[in-house]
Structure 1
């Protein structure tokens, strides 16, 4: 999928960025695994802590306190922050609970929020509930979802 993304972004002369929490840079890693990705990838932000989300992406502390780090609101702010703090044309963000612990009834393990921000376009949001899977399976599924969102946005 990263190969397809490279081709699509290159054809449209677009550049991407990532803002990752629970995936810890795996999306950026998948993209940069492909030779030539420097043409279409600007940077990746690994913002595992709330403080990193605030410092690196400009996510307001009040937003995190009001909704939690794993929320649609924070995912949107992360994607928009990645776009604002990079030279990219589009940015994807991921924030979730990969487990095995850390979940609750309201926010179970496997809950992941994604957002995609593009210049001069509304920010999109996707919520996925991967269910009772292993930490690595949840993270792998999150990487696929993020790449699919970037690919879809690059073909519009």
Structure 2
């Protein structure tokens, strides 16, 4: 027995040369396009902007950067530049300063730097800022505190 198969008409395919996709335009916010100055462009003026937000004295900055206070005064006078390791340390401390000032306020952050939190095994916070690892540990502690994790 033979079945009758119904045949349906086949629609013609559209021509392949047409493109019907739309173009997506992405805009980057201005805040994201700001970059830190390159190493060769980082001068005392950039440092001063960071230092003004910081709860550190010029003498404390000199200790944190492993240079003399006299060198900082010379950089200020000549608008001189810092070396790469100093710039890296300054930018890392700037990140810490921004987080701390936002969380505690400038005066509260200054007081907290002289405290001995339990989560740091009783070490004074400012003593940890002498090494890269210590700064990272303090930044991590601030992030945990921001999220309500007991510290």
Which bracket does the TM-score occupy, shorter chain normalised?
under 0.3
- Normalized per residue, the structure richer in strand is 1
TM-score, reference length from structure 2: 0.26
TM-score, structure 1 normalization: 0.25
Larger radius of gyration, structure 1 or 2? Answer: 2
By relative contact order (CA 8 Å, sep 6+), the higher-ranking structure is 1
